[in-house]
A and B are shown apart, each in its own frame.
Chain A
């Protein structure tokens, strides 16, 4: 065991921070106030991500043949931490590099790899995630969107919901049912669908989370070639679970939570609140929760660095991440009081992101179910 960053990793973090200081504009707070899905942030990312790519940092943990540098997953984790601390200047592109690319690398045909991986590693691809449906949330395998073979094509009909970033996305990582008579985990496939294919319509769902966060995607007679399927037909559930294992710890929420907590402590001190033992206790408690979340996430990265298959450690980390987010965002409310009610206030902005932690990317309850069955091996209901 070794709980220390290597000299090179520390050097990289420092360089990256300098790069961010130089490349994030003076009004970055303004640009990022509506969240990574906002027009302003998406536009910024379209310039910023290619710069990161030029530095060789966007996908450095990927193999060289796919536009990476064979760096360890730790390097990518450092990138993620620094990005989240600043409100994710990569906008939606964090998804590409965290899980879309790796899943294509694992299951894609040579043509798919050649078509999709370079744009991602060069910072010019935008993807969205078409998993959830109105009737398939936590119970994702009850999804109904149907893709039926029609000659050399699939004809897709159905709808997706909560599809973040789809307004900017060039492609959708779409999960469908390819066997109409199938149930549950069988009969599912993944399709990589261009968002400008005729028959796709999107509608924004106004939300509390941020500008342009939630969308509905309607698919009517959408025609794509069979070659757009990622992985085996009807056995796509494996592809989905593979991608989810990457996604669930993709966003290092603890990094932002810990930073918010540091800012809170500073403010609390300025306002003389650190004289109050209760405030100190709450700060200490929240700090402990952030540290717990960081270490459990590191555990997952470590398993990945050792090429271990995904385990329920991912779910453990996710639950801890939600606990940390909640503690910090609630404490921010306590410390700022009614000031936090103003839109764009730092406590409000943090709360807006934090409040979804227990739902997005699989709910806390679903994660607890998986810990119970896989980690504790408790019997099924």
Chain B
């Protein structure tokens, strides 16, 4: 057991942090959101510096991949980072052309990155399918929830089957990706809220000095810390069904609570596009609804633990 980042991991984080400081951030996310654009430039920069290859790199692996995923999410990067860094290499053992969208048969409503994706990973039940998409035929969908979205017409026999049983593998990695992205978003949502309550004064004092507020943020901090470690452990173990479902169940529940609390504690300002909170908070809700949502993850966690499926 060792919970410290090793030197390699620290170096990866420092390097990706530097890149993100230049090319990502709330301001850029807000700019791109105006036209529901995808950040192709950021994806290209991440790719050029090798960050999209960390999962399959012989020197690194999925632990480094979740760290990068978390960092990109924390910097509000508008790229399909979890799908590219975790789901694609975890499922297919290769890097797939991005943007990558993930969805499942029977899904209704828009799909994250669905208007831009060149690759679709489909949870078709027992099997997973890898489908090439033509972005020029995409159907963008307007959404408030922090990511560019699109509707995808699902053809259950399109593309290539990844073999019997691959559906379960896809679900495991998908859950890990959701939880890893949630860690980054909840961390930043919480950080901007903590900064806000320290600076906002009412009744002659910083609102962050009220215990009613402190306790709720402290609860959120517990949720964030726990989610992080659950994600790291699940990644370290190679995304087994129980650890990933448990991490996703916890992460999505935490996401929902952190959404509610951060918006409550930032008052009206938190609902504006002027304040950065929405960049991360709205994403939390998008993540929380994906892949079966909180209850689906909870059932999966119980089934993996006690029913062996």
Contact = CB atoms under 8 A, between A and B. Distances in A.
* A-B interaction: yes
Interface of A: 1-6, 9, 74, 262, 265-266, 269, 274, 277, 280-285, 287-289, 291-293, 295-296, 298-299, 301-303, 305-306, 313, 316, 319-320, 323, 365, 367-369, 371-373, 375-381
Given A295-B229, A381-B209, A381-B211, A5 B306 contact: no
B226 interface: yes
Contacts of A368: 214-215, 218-219
Nearest to B63: A1
Interface string B205-246: 110111101110111011001110110110011000001011
Contacts of A303: 3
A266 to B, nearest CB: 7
5 contacts: A266-B306, A281-B302, A284-B245, A288-B230, A306-B4
B2 to A, nearest CB: 4
A158 B107 CA distance: 68
Contacts of B94: none
B82 to A, nearest CB: 19
A1 B305 contact: no
B180 interface: no
B194 A284 contact: no
Given A277-B295, A280-B302, A287-B301, 6 more contacts: A269-B306, A284-B246, A295-B229, A296-B229, A298-B229, A378-B214
B230 A3 contact: no
A316 B223 CA distance: 9
Given A1-B6, A295-B233, A296-B226, A378 B194 contact: yes
A291 B4 CA distance: 19
B201 to A, nearest CB: 10
Interface centre among A3, A9, A280, A293 (most CB of B within 10 A): A3
A266 B307 CA distance: 10
A305 B194 CA distance: 30
Main secondary structure of the interface of A (DSSP, over half): helix
Main secondary structure of the interface of B (DSSP, over half): helix
Interface residues of B, number: 52
A280 B304 CA distance: 11
Contacts of B210: 381
A265 B306 contact: yes
Nearest to A301: B1
Contacts of A288: 230, 246-247, 249-250, 253, 298, 301
Contacts of A372: 211, 214-215, 217-218
Nearest to A266: B306
B172 to A, nearest CB: 15
Q: Which 3 A-B pairs have the closest CB atoms?
A: A284-B298, A292-B226, A372-B214
B3 A299 contact: yes
B4 A1 contact: yes
A285 B296 CA distance: 11
A323 B225 CA distance: 14
B288 interface: no
Interface centre among B206, B210, B299 (most CB of A within 10 A): B299
Contacts of B227: 292
Interface string B68-111: 00000000000000000000000000000000000000000000
A117 B201 CA distance: 52
B221 A5 contact: no
B303 interface: yes
A34 B221 CA distance: 36
Contacts of A373: 214
B166 to A, nearest CB: 23
